[in-house]
Structure formats: C-alpha cells, structure tokens
Amino acid sequence: MPQIKFYKHDPIPLEMHKVKIVQQLTLLPVCERLERIRAAGFNTFQLHNADVFLDMLTDSGVNAMSDQMQSAMLRPDDAYAGSETFFRMNAKLTELFGMKHLLPAHQGRACENILAMRFVKPGNCVIMNYHFTTAKAHITRLGGRVEELVKAEGLAPRSDLPFKGDIDLEALEACIRKETPANVPFFRLEAGTNLIGGQPVSFANMKAATDICRKYGILTVMDASLLQDNLYFIKTREPGMADKPVREIARMIADLFDIIYFSGRKFGFARGGGLLVRDEALYHSMEDLVPMFEGFLTYGGMSVREMEAMTVGFDESMEMDVISQAPQFIGYCVDRLDAAGVPVITPGGGLGAHLNAMEFVPHIPQQEYPAGALAAALYLCGGIRGMERGTLSEEREPDGSERFASMELLRLAFPRRVFTLSQTEYVIDRVRWLYDHRELVGGLRFVHEPKTLRFFTGVLEAASDWPEKLAEAYAEEFGKDQ
C-alpha cells in the first residue's frame, strides 16, 4: 500500500484491491447477543459464526484469497503420491527460501508436533523469544520446558520501540551456558510475536541470535507464520532495509535458519502448513512422522486445491501492496484508539490491534480472566468477536494454581484483505463506548475447564450479573435492535 496523497482529506489506508466476492453479515440485537454469549459459555471460540457481525477472532484460515489464488484452485493434481501440485509448491518455497526439503502438514501446530516429537526429551529446555500456545503445549507434554527471553521492553504495553519481539541476546547466551548446549534441542524464534501484540523482530536481532546459537552448535528454527507482517516492518522500520526488495529480505532471513515452519492459514493465505529443512539428513530424520500423523509426503493432510492457492499466496506475500494492507489498518486502528485514551499495545504490530485489559478493566483480578471478560463484553457491545490472549490462554501449574500471563490482551485480528475502513471505524467506535462504560464489566469463572488448551473449549460463567447490566446500558444508548 503506497502512501497515496489526498487533496482535501487526512491520509488514510487505501486498499490496493477491489472486492469481487462478498459474504452477507448480520448484526443481531443486543438482547440476542446476550443470549448467544451466555450459551457459548462466555467463550468467543464457542460462538456460532452466524451470530457474529465482525469476526476478529483470528487471521488463521480466514484471509481473503485473490482472484489468482482462486483460479489456481482449478489446476490441482489430486494424486495420492507424487502429486505435481506438491512439486510446484516445493519449487516455489525453494525459490523464495533456498531450502530444498519440504515436509507438508495440515497446519502450523502439526509442524510443531513433528518438531517436538523429533527433538524434545524430558528435561530439555527450548529457548525462544516468546511462546505460542500450541508450540509450548507440544514441548511441555513431552516433558520439556520453555524459556522465554524477549527483551524486557517487549512486555511494556506502551512503547515506541519498533521491534518489541527482539530476543535479549545477553540472556540467550547466558541461558545456553546455564542449560548447556546438549540440553537445548533447538532455538525457536517467532517472526511476529503472537501473544504480546504481534510485535516484529528485527533482522539484526535475528542474525545476532542465530550467530550465538551457531557458536554453540544449537539448531535454529523460525516460526514464519506471521512472516509477511514481519517483512513489512523490517522494510519500513529497520535502518538500511527500505531499498531492499521484500524477496531479498525474506531470503536474507531464511539463510539464518536450519528449519523454517509455517501455518499456511496465515503465511500463504490458504489452509495448510509445512516444514522447510536445509539439511537432507535432518529432513530424513523427520519424514516418517508425516505419513504417520499427517498424510503422505506429497500432501501432508492438505487439500491439493489449497496447496495450489497457497503457492500463489507465497508469491503475493512478497509484494508490498499485499503485505502492507493489514499492518496499515492495524496501525490506523491502534493510533485512533490510543488518541482517544483507550489502553492499547503500541506501536501497532502485525496480526491485529491489541487492547490492554489490565488497564482497560483494572478492577477485574487476573484469576477472573480480565481479557476473556473483555472479549465477551465487546461481543455484547457490537457483535465483534475478538480473542483472549492472557491468563485464560495459559495452562495451570502442576499443583493446580493459576499461571498468570505476563500480559492480558484482547486481540482484534485483521485478516488480510477482509475488512473495510468503515468496518474498522465501527470497531473503534464500539471499543470507545465500552471503555467509557468499563466499570460495568465483571469477571468470569470456569464451569468446565479442559486440562490442555482450555481457551479453545472451556465453558465459563459471569461472576455476577454484569452482562445483563452492560446489555441494558448499551440498549439505552443505541436501542434494543442494535
């Protein structure tokens, strides 16, 4: 998205695409939304999509495809083994990242499962800048543990630091020495830290971190699911990168790592995933896990139609007019909310705008899941479905006590090429109204709590009658039919 100048209008994000297919949306009356969120156990994951006006739960598998991606879905080779679709996908990834060996999988967490099963043993320590829920769950279920070494500034809600996902390099080397290299099966760097605001990592930090790991003989792994956002931020924020093509930056990054894995539901704008492996022997050490858990080696549990679309999506992920759309919309939303005094994570990162629930509803204690309560409240006050990224997304300690999250965030994801600026303005308006009525929002408690990944399927209830009071105040402001 170039910076288009306007004659008599303040600069705003301008889409570099036009809409060719639409999906009808419905905004239920507030009284019905109250019924729906209660029936969903105050868990936005459990809402029916038909009950949602603007679905900002995630950017995973819900990005808009281009006409070129959709047309590519007409050419797949659906052979069980030896599909030409696979070889086209493999060739494109080799062209972009210089890694010849591809292990296909149905999505990113399947790649994490393969990595964990291949490398993690009880007592091992996997070092990373920050964890992702499924990445951590796969490691801990096998007896490993995670050490998060994001810079302290990365956890500061308000900041002008351009790369809040950077890892603390001194802490990284100290941790390797403390653990010993033999107990660190791999180093994982997430390009775009999902759980702390979609904050990017600088190329300089990536290179310095992987240099340290190489010095100690530690395998380097990158989670590239949010790579397209990170590429945009490196090009626009990092000194010396503005004149480099996106493809060149992507290749520079890839050359630093031994393994790159991704969720194609994010990177590639379709539905699937894969592991790229530089070393052939390392590739062969993992290949048996694909037919065992995913599918044959030339489809890995993916639809070949999606694989063809994704292959085109990889190319589109290297175009600035494509990858800049979501970060610019997110930045616009964050800046508008910040100017209105709403506590948001700054600067705007990738993936979505993030509300800081600790400051938004400071009267709700962490054991009553303030970010989860805020997610339920925003659905109630506008039909907007966001995702809790806080203590509810953590797992309990072995003794049953809560493991309180470093941050309590409500993520409002911006799937690529999905929302318009007027819809973004609606989100800003409803968030501002909710902030002005924040004292009405109360906490949540579990009714049904799964042991693992409880935020997906857990059932909760309100700790008081706050949802009814909030719905009543909303109806008085906007009317019962909105």
Enzyme catalytic residues? 80, 132-133, 223, 266, 389, 455
Pick from 265, 251, 7: which is nearest to 111 by CA?
265
Six-digit token pair at 398?
A: 């072995």
Contact between 412 and 59 under an 8 Å Cβ cutoff? The reply is: no
Alpha helices in 143-254 (DSSP H): 169-179, 203-215, 227-237, 246-254
Residues 84, 86, 87, 88: is their CA dihedral positive or negative? positive
**Residues 6 or more apart from 318 whose CB is under 8 A from it?**
96, 231, 245, 246, 247, 250
CA 329 vs CA 262, 336, 353: distances in Å: 23, 11, 9
Distance separating alpha carbons of residues 188 and 186, to the nearest angstrom? 6
Residue pair 378/384 in contact by the 8 Å Cβ criterion: yes
Strands 273-277 and 259-263: antiparallel
Instruction: Calculate ∠ Cα 269-258-165, nearest 5°.
Output: 60
- E strand or H helix at 478, and its extent? helix 466-478
Say which amino acid occupies 469. Answer: K
Number of CB atoms found within 10 A of residue 470's CB: 24
Dihedral (Cα; 407, 411, 416, 421), 10-degree rounding: -120
CA dihedral 11→13→19→21, nearest 10 degrees, is -150
57 token code pair: 């739960």
DSSP string, 115-148: HHHHH--TT-EEEESS--HHHHHHHHHTT-EEEE
Kindly give the residue spans of alpha helices, DSSP state H, lying in 18-79.
30-39, 67-72
Strand partners, 199: 193
